Structure 1
Amino acid sequence: MDLPSTIARPVDHELVVKKSRFLAHLAPATTVAAADAVIARRRKELWDARHHCVALVLGTHAAGTPRTARSSDDGEPSGTAGVPMLEVLRHREVTDVVAVVTRYFGGVKLGAGGLVRAYSGAVAAALDVAATSGAMLRRELLYEVEVPVPHADAGRIDNLLRDWASGHGAVMEPPSYGSVAHLRLLVPRAELDALTADVAAASAGALLPDVGDARVVDVPVPARRP
């Protein structure tokens, strides 16, 4: 299942067009309340700016979860700010993100087309910053897997699973300990058979992974070269 990406932390970028400054601020937000808090904070921090235009997309877009999308021109001519910003978020396939672009007027009117290019360009450039700084998260549907291992073999199997996970798009989770060690990881559906085979080979058939439920997981994306 293809899911939209998101960001791990706030990202900022400044675009200057004919002396007008467009300060783009992207922040992670999973609820409307969280997005509203980001918007209110930017308004307070940059209180002397003329416009604080907004676009947000919320929702994992998995298992039938609906997505929420909103935008605001905040006094700019209708359709020249919020909607172009929102279209960039949609086109880049990101979610659980709020974008606020604050404008300081430079004295030169840009016209409708110029405003559309400036507001959309500011958000696009901020997303590029996120990609090149390692702030992007890839959202995936992964399966919870537990491998019960005798304590005597836990260290060896743990190292094997960590190496395996790095090459198969899986994510290790913290283990738990009882009468045996319970090693846990999150695995793509397409890799479940390979995991079972590799664990069996490493243990002479003594160990069998226990596959549980699927859940949406945010996986860090390596920084892209500028």
Structure 2
Amino acid sequence: MSLDSYKTIDEPTKETLFKDRNSKFFGFAFPVKSEDDVKICLEEVRKIHYAARHFCYAYQIGVEDIKYRANDDGEPNNSAGMPIYGQIQSFVVTNILIVVVRYFGGTKLGVGGLINAYKTSAQITLEASNIVEKTIDVFFQLNFEYDMMNKVMRILKEKNINLESQKMELACEYVISIRKKEVKTVFEIFDNLYKVSIKKLEA
């Protein structure tokens, strides 16, 4: 994996099940980009498993500026959330939430048993996930007159640059995304182009 790419999932993973001494551990993985996304996904899981007592989870958000959280949800300290987060790190994925729902089976597993069960459940869930690699992209706005459109479009095609959106009014306004490692080269091409202005958009 290169420095300007990362791994994540594009869609929620189907529920997985791990059993240990009659305790059941249901695993879920969701693609998330904000803490609001995390709350919505947790609510979904709570609706599905309304009778369960423990909804332990870990998430990681961000590509260069990483935010993460691990939650034991009533299980002994660091016996659930961190083992789940350990698997997120092990699979090197981001923008992901993993929730493990536990139903107690009548036999206590002990802290070591819980750590192993939550870790295994998260691992099974990640193995069942469709992990994809994405590039880190930087967004720019281009402004130019209509007579420059063919020239701009030719550069976009030659350099394989994504056109995210376009506005055509008195003049043209394009929003483009450039792979991080190609930013300098592409920026210079447009910056040196007569009658075309380029500016970076904040993420």
TM-score, structure 2 normalization: 0.69
Over residues 150-182 of structure 1, what are the superposed CA-to-partner deviations in whole Å (9 max), with x where a residue is unaligned?
36854x8537624632xxxx4321122134444
What amino acid is aligned across from residue 30 of structure 1 in structure 2? Answer: S
Is 2:29 aligned against 1:26?
A: yes
Over residues 22-53 of structure 1, what are the superposed CA-to-partner deviations in whole Å (9 max), with x where a residue is unaligned?
2112232512x543343233223212234322
Over residues 175-226 of structure 1, what are the superposed CA-to-partner deviations in whole Å (9 max), with x where a residue is unaligned?
22134444431113532454368779xxxx976753312544xxxxxxxxxx
| 1:61 Cα offset (Å) | 4.8
Is 2:199 aligned against 1:212?
A: yes
| 1:54 Cα offset (Å) | 2.0
- Note the 1:58-207 alignment, pairs <5 A: 58=61, 61-62=64-65, 67-72=67-72, 74-106=73-105, 110-132=109-131, 136=132, 138=134, 140-146=136-142, 148=144, 150=146, 154=150, 158=153, 161-162=156-157, 164-165=159-160, 170-195=161-186
The aligned length equals 199
What CA distance in whole angstroms lies between the structure 2 residues aligned with 1:130 and 1:140?
21
What CA distance in whole angstroms lies between the structure 1 residues aligned with 2:89 and 2:169?
46
TM-score, structure 1 normalization: 0.64
SS at match of 2:56: strand
What CA distance in whole angstroms lies between the structure 1 residues aligned with 2:195 and 2:159?
15
8 Å CA contact 1:144, 1:184 repeated in 2: yes
Cα RMSD of the aligned pairs, angstroms, is 3.9
What amino acid is aligned across from residue 58 of structure 2 in structure 1? Answer: A
Where does structure 1 lack aligned partners over 5 or more consecutive residues? 217-226
Where does structure 2 lack aligned partners over 5 or more consecutive residues? none
| 1:14 corresponding residue in structure 2 | 16
| 2:49 corresponding residue in structure 1 | 46
- The 3 A distance-change label for structure 1 pair 143 and 42 is closer
What CA distance in whole angstroms lies between the structure 2 residues aligned with 1:121 and 1:208?
58
What CA distance in whole angstroms lies between the structure 2 residues aligned with 1:129 and 1:208?
51
What CA distance in whole angstroms lies between the structure 1 residues aligned with 2:128 and 2:202?
28
Over residues 34-77 of structure 1, what are the superposed CA-to-partner deviations in whole Å (9 max), with x where a residue is unaligned?
43343233223212234322223345653xxx7352311x3434
8 Å CA contact 2:83, 2:119 repeated in 1: yes
SS at match of 1:85: helix
What CA distance in whole angstroms lies between the structure 1 residues aligned with 2:118 and 2:166?
46
| 1:119 Cα offset (Å) | 1.3
What amino acid is aligned across from residue 176 of structure 1 in structure 2? Answer: K
